[in-house]
Amino acid sequence: MVRRAGGQPLGWGGGDMLKVAMVLASFLVLACAGPALAAELVPQWTAIGKLPKAERALARRVVAEKTGDDQDSDSDEMNKFVRNEARGGYLSPGTGGGLFLVRMPSFSNCGEITLSIFGPPGQSGKRPVLMDQECLSGVRFVVSAKGDLPDIIATIGEFADLIYRWNGTKWRAEETIEGPALRQPANGNGRNLRTLAGMHDLLSALQATGIRARLKTGLGVHYPILLRNLSVRGPLVFNDGCLIAEGLAPHSGGSEEAVLAICSNGALYVALLTNDSVLVHSPVSGMVGLPAAMRPTIEHWSDGRPTRWIGAK
């Protein structure tokens, strides 16, 4: 349900539909412009107090809903910071007729900012709520390949980004892709695996020649799950000739987890806990062939869950 600011349902009149159609048409022109297909759309952010009257009032209402009237001293200081750092912004076409955005810093562990997005003004002059205080990190806007409202790309960890696509009523998280760090050229042969023990620098190991490509080929459609499920992780461990990384997806401990072993002899092992099942990628089948450091975790995951092995020769 698309709502007006303030929570009231929006009744789409002919004028409303025309304005939305104009917004969609503008993005369609960009999407059909060849090289501009993946062009990034950069909002023009402005301090709340410098916005036009209607958007200024809307943004202040959004900020007030977030900060409330908490008089606790610590909370009040944080709320003052949020109010001072809140910004409003526009995406094409034009200041008055396009999408209007409100961003505020977030103090929770769900993301860096909370983002609200409003559509073009309807016949009454009010903007419909298209996204309501979504908690996100590393937000970027890019032209949609479908010629729709822009895709939103948010960071979900060091190695993965999440693409939100407009489905006609809301932005929906649809696809996990490699983050910018992994898309950089491979860094030679990488560092000696043993020297990475006790550190968090898994990127150096993944950038070693061939590692990333082998993981993509071996895991196929499960590769993005590995990237997502290594978003939150502890220090690396070197055990029995293998560098071991264990992690989980944000806020998903016990349901979306991963273990990756990169071994000095060239072998790669991956175990994924996802969708209430276990997937193990290994050059050999069976627990005996796995690095010893991986076995307890996989045995724990497999208790009462289906386990599938892939990659064995």
| Domain-located, residue 153 | no
Tell whether 173 is covered by a domain.
Answer: no
CA atoms within 13 A on the CB side of 2: 22
- Residues 106, 13, single domain; the answer is yes
Q: Domains in the chain: how many in total?
A: 2
Write out the residue range of the structural domain in which residue 227 sits.
193-310
Which tens digit of pLDDT belongs to each residue from 233-282? 999 999 999 999 999 998 888 999 999 999 999 999 999 999 999 999 99
For the entire predicted model, the pTM comes to 0.78
- Cross-strand pairs, 310: 281
Q: Which two tokens stand for residue 224?
A: 């993005």
> pLDDT by residue (tens digit) across 96-121?
458 999 999 987 778 899 999 999 98
145-178 pLDDT, tens digit each: 887 789 999 999 889 999 999 998 999 999 999 9
If asked whether residues 20 and 113 sit together in one domain, one would say yes
Among 136, 164, 182, residue at a domain's last position: 136
**68 occurs within a structural domain:** yes
What value does the mean pLDDT of the chain take?
Answer: 83
Q: Within a domain: residue 51?
A: yes
CATH number at residue 280: 3.40.1420
